[in-house]
Amino acid sequence: MSYVIRRLLAMIPALIGVVICIFLLTRILPGDPARTLAGEQADAATVEKLRVDMGLDQPMLSQFFGYLGDLLRGDLGFAWHTGHTVTADLATRLPATAELAIVSILIALIVAIPLGVLSAVYRDRAIDHIGRVISLVGASMPLFWLGLLAIYLFYFMLGWAPAPIGRIETGVNPPTTVTGFYLVDSLLSGDMVAFTSSLKSIIWPALVLSTGSIAMISRMTRSAMLEVLGQDYVRTAVSKGLNPGIVVGKHAFRNASPSVVTVVGLEFGQLLGGAVITETIFSWPGVGSYVTQSIMATDYAPVQAFSLLAAVIFLVVNLLVDLTNAAIDPRVRNA
């Protein structure tokens, strides 16, 4: 327990650093947010009035302390380009992104881990080659290209996928909100129409988003497995006449899993970055498309909030990875 508290305390300096960096980076960005918001036809007086409203006329240092004070009160600021507080915007959009990320990572795990294990066990055989090609494609295809291609092929040409316009098909009402996750909420309210529709809608962007993770996780699983499979205790287990399935699944995979867990954690953090692109292409109403729009509008507060959120998620996922590894491997716990 003291390990967890120690780790949580260690997050504080990291977060302070992140807050300062984000604030400075958004301010260094060229372009006047007031001018963008007012439009090209507005005169200088209108722009100036808006600058005062937005607090941009204040010196940088007082803007920073104002931001810090708001942050400590839990106020993430105001999104000028949507007309809502950032907290309100995030509350409606975060569940969409979280659901997409979770489904993506599930797909990645279901595909990548068996693929990685099999590639290692059947090294240089057909399945290993297939795995290599899948990883190569997944790692090298830009997400936006893959997304556009998927929409063109599966929606426009084949008609398998529903229209790429968000979390649920047109004409189907979203389920009653409980968790904000459509898949969970529709099951909770027993609304199978909404469940199938949201499943159909999420599966395509989630597949696209998962390709990078599939590549990374399967490759990492393969190399970790290869290393373990070459060790003496595995040979001993096999020569004792143990069932090969048990040797691979229990003896070998458990020892390979810490490095797999680590890469899964990293990939989950990366998904937020990928979501920015995938969401924009699939009109997915999550934080990713939100931050894209905010950057276009030079709207500082949402960009700051998103970056902070991403940093927090990254830190938390890292912590979870370490805790999981500690649970798997006693040596980590006692170190």
Partner 1 sequence: MRVTAKAVAIAASVLLVTGCSANANTNANSTESTGATTITAAYSEGGTTLNPTEANDVTSDTFVLAAYDQLVTYATEEVDGKQVANTAEIVPMIASSWEVSDDDTAYTFTLRDDIAFQSGNPLTSADVVGSFQLIADSSSASFLYGMAGISTVTAVDDSTVTITLTAPNHLFLQILPMYSFSIMDTKLIEENGGAEWLATNTAGSGPFVVDSWDPSTEAVLSRNDDYWGDAPALETVNIKFITEASNRVQLLSKGEVQLALEIPAKDVAALEDTDGVVIDSRPSNKILYFAMNNNIAPFDNELVRQAITYAIPYDKLLTDVMQGQASPMTSSVASSTPGFTADGNNAEYDLDKAKDLLTQAGYPDGFTFDFTLGSGFQDWNDDAVLIQAELAKVGVTMNITNMARAQFLEAIATNQVQSYISRWTSFVNDPGYHLGLLLTSTGTSNYANYNNADVDSLWTEASTEPDQEKRNELYGEAQEIINEESPWAYLYEYNIVVGLQEGTEGYTSYPDGIVRYAQLSVN
Give the interface with partner 1 as residue ranges (CB under 8 A).
29-33, 35-36, 38-46, 49-50, 53, 80-84, 92-93, 148, 151-152, 155-156, 163-167, 170-176, 178, 186, 188-191, 193-194, 280-281, 283, 285-286, 289-290, 292-293, 296-298
In the complex with partner 1, which residue's Cβ is closer, 212 or 302?
Answer: 302
Minimum separation from the CB atom of position 290 to partner 1 (A): 6
Measured CA to CA, the distance from residue 217 to residue 38 in angstroms comes to 46
In the complex with partner 1, which residue's Cβ is closer, 87 or 293?
Answer: 293
User: Strand, helix or coil at 285?
Assistant: coil
Residue indicated by tokens 């650093």: 17
Minimum separation from the CB atom of position 293 to partner 1 (A): 8
Return the ∠ at Cα 12 (arms to 10 and 13), rounded to 5°: 85
Mention every residue, 6+ apart, whose C-beta is less than 8 A from residue 69: none
Minimum separation from the CB atom of position 160 to partner 1 (A): 13
Q: Containing H/E element for 79?
A: strand 78-79
In the complex with partner 1, which residue's Cβ is closer, 81 or 251?
Answer: 81
Question: Do residues 219 and 110 touch, judged by C-beta distance below 8 A?
Answer: no
In the complex with partner 1, which residue's Cβ is closer, 43 or 124?
Answer: 43
Q: CA of 45: how far to CAs of 36, 50, 163, 297, 331, in Å?
A: 14, 9, 44, 20, 66
Minimum separation from the CB atom of position 310 to partner 1 (A): 18
Q: Containing H/E element for 109?
A: helix 86-121
In the complex with partner 1, which residue's Cβ is closer, 85 or 223?
Answer: 85
Closest CA to 146 of 68, 205, 213, 227: 205
What pairs with residue 79 in β-bridges? 84
Minimum separation from the CB atom of position 7 to partner 1 (A): 22
Q: In sequence order, what DSSP letters do the residues of 189-228 get, joined into one string?
A: TT-HHHHHHHHHHHHHHHHHHHHHHHHHHHHHHHHHHHHH
Minimum separation from the CB atom of position 142 to partner 1 (A): 15
In the complex with partner 1, which residue's Cβ is closer, 229 or 291?
Answer: 291
In the complex with partner 1, which residue's Cβ is closer, 30 or 245?
Answer: 30
Minimum separation from the CB atom of position 152 to partner 1 (A): 7
Residues in the chain: 335
Measured CA to CA, the distance from residue 265 to residue 323 in angstroms comes to 11
The four Cα atoms 244, 249, 253, 254 give a dihedral, to 10 degrees, of: -120
Measured CA to CA, the distance from residue 322 to residue 250 in angstroms comes to 21
In the complex with partner 1, which residue's Cβ is closer, 190 or 245?
Answer: 190
Minimum separation from the CB atom of position 167 to partner 1 (A): 8
In the complex with partner 1, which residue's Cβ is closer, 78 or 253?
Answer: 78
Minimum separation from the CB atom of position 256 to partner 1 (A): 27
Mention every residue, 6+ apart, whose C-beta is less than 8 A from residue 118: 127, 128, 131
What pairs with residue 78 in β-bridges? 85
